[in-house]
Amino acid sequence: MEYLPIFLRLQNAPCLVVGGGAVAARKVGLLRKAGARVTVVALELDRQLAEWADDSQIAYRKKAFEPKDMDGQQLAIAATDRQEVNALVSQTARGLGIPVNVADQPDLCSFIFPAVIDRSPVIAAVSSGGASPILARTLRDRIEQLLPAGYGRLADLARRYRRPVKQALPDALSRNRFWQTVLQGPIAELVLAGREADAAEHLERLLTEAAPKAPQGEVYLVGAGPGDPDLLTLRALRLMQQADVVVYDRLVSPAVMEKVRTDAERIYAGKQRSDHTLPQEAINGLLVRLAREGKRVLRLKGGDPFIFGRGGEEIETLMEQGIPFQVVPGITAASGCAAYAGIPLTHRDYSQSCVFVTGHRQDGSVSLDWPRLAVPNQTVVIYMGLVGLDIICRNLIAHGCPGDRPAALVEQGTTPRQRVLTGTLENLPRLVAETPVQAPTLVIIGDVVKLREKLDWFHPSA
């Protein structure tokens, strides 16, 4: 993040704009909307700026910029067509610790103007960090279409009732639930329809009925997919945004975690071979305890929670303890990573069946039904197979697989760090041993791997 997005309060704040053209006029217009007291320094003014100056809506100094013009200012903008003037404004402001923006010259700026979506008092802003103002405006226009004008009125309603709600519902969780009901339900629809009086009446009635009581907890067992956040389901995103606490695994990618509600408590429950941050029994108990505290608990698991994710064990405990829960499937690593690697799991010319297995058991051993996995015209997908890869390949060959059967290892599939190593049962362990590989990984064995070179479509830039 190159720029920290902030919102400045400029009511009655003295602000300086150097320049008298159309660009300067746009900047002055924004400052005036924010309530700033604007002084413009320029030799000439365009029509709009001249009108504002004539009406005493801005102060005007008809002169060339001098450093002393910066005295007493809280913010400065340079919008001239002379590089030396813009540089002097920037240098002077920075020397005095005053935020400065120079139009179309990010290197001279200490802040930049975003594209603004104004639903006052709700303000949304989009920035490209100065890389492409047109892209920022394009995104702004798209967001404009999604945000009804009534959201400002909805924010005003929330502001009027913020203190009464806090007094009536001192518990933060209950208060949070109350506002979600207000802002996402029928009351919000009344406001957006222009019926603010009816909305206020409904809100007061709801507040009267919302006697302080322990909120009902719930657990959301959600599949986070193989890593790319674009592969999350809409339902997963919705629950990720309303959870009070998230209990997440090692295989949940950082990009997916960024989609979780920013103020949600985060509890890491990752597992690696012989290194469990929390034993499974402790995780089960944690989910129960958090839900009984009235929290909405997001149990976020890489891939799909019911495919080698121990989701079944967790909901068994929740059912035994009477805890409400939901299950949201995710794209499992086998389908996601194979698709991004350009390897179809089935193909009528190469594979008529597909088997998913885990590379090691709970005790760490590698013990699989080797004869069943060694049959021809089949794709075998092995989760957690990195550590035991050599054992797996040797046993498959020993049980009838040809040594030249194609095999691939997909590292950090669907993410910008994806890498695919292809070989055969005979040489893949050696190729992997010679290459530093970072989990998570997935092993795919079968003739479908031959299609990798032809169907390779995902080329991450990182």
- Residues forming the active site: 249, 271
The single residue listed with the structure tokens 């309530």 is 35
307 is in an annotated binding site: yes
143 is in an annotated binding site: no
455 is in an annotated binding site: no
How many residues can be counted in the chain? 462
22 is in an annotated binding site: yes
What is the distance between the alpha carbons of residues 42 and 431, in angstroms, rounded to a whole number? 68
Q: How many CA atoms lie within 13 A of 319 on its CB side?
A: 8
What is the distance between the alpha carbons of residues 75 and 375, in angstroms, rounded to a whole number? 73
333 is in an annotated binding site: yes
**CB neighbours of 459 closer than 8 A, spacing ≥ 6?**
none
Which residue, among 272, 279, 228, 274, has the nearest Cα to 252 in the 3D structure? 228
Which residue, among 259, 278, 256, 276, has the nearest Cα to 267 in the 3D structure? 278
Which residue, among 322, 260, 261, has the nearest Cα to 291 in the 3D structure? 322
Q: Distance of alpha carbon 144 from its chain centroid, rounded?
A: 20
23 is in an annotated binding site: yes
Q: Distance of alpha carbon 181 from its chain centroid, rounded?
A: 23
Answer for the pair 259, 232: CB distance below 8 angstroms, yes or no: yes
Which residue, among 351, 112, 314, has the nearest Cα to 221 in the 3D structure? 314
- Beta-bridged to residue 353, according to DSSP, are 378
302 is in an annotated binding site: yes
304 is in an annotated binding site: yes
What amino acid is encoded at 353 in this protein? Answer: S
413 is in an annotated binding site: yes
43 is in an annotated binding site: yes
Residue numbers in the known binding site for S-adenosyl-L-methionine are 226, 302-304, 307, 332-333, 384, 413
Residue numbers in the known binding site for NAD(+) are 22-23, 43-44
Residue numbers in the known binding site are 22-23, 43-44, 226, 302-304, 307, 332-333, 384, 413
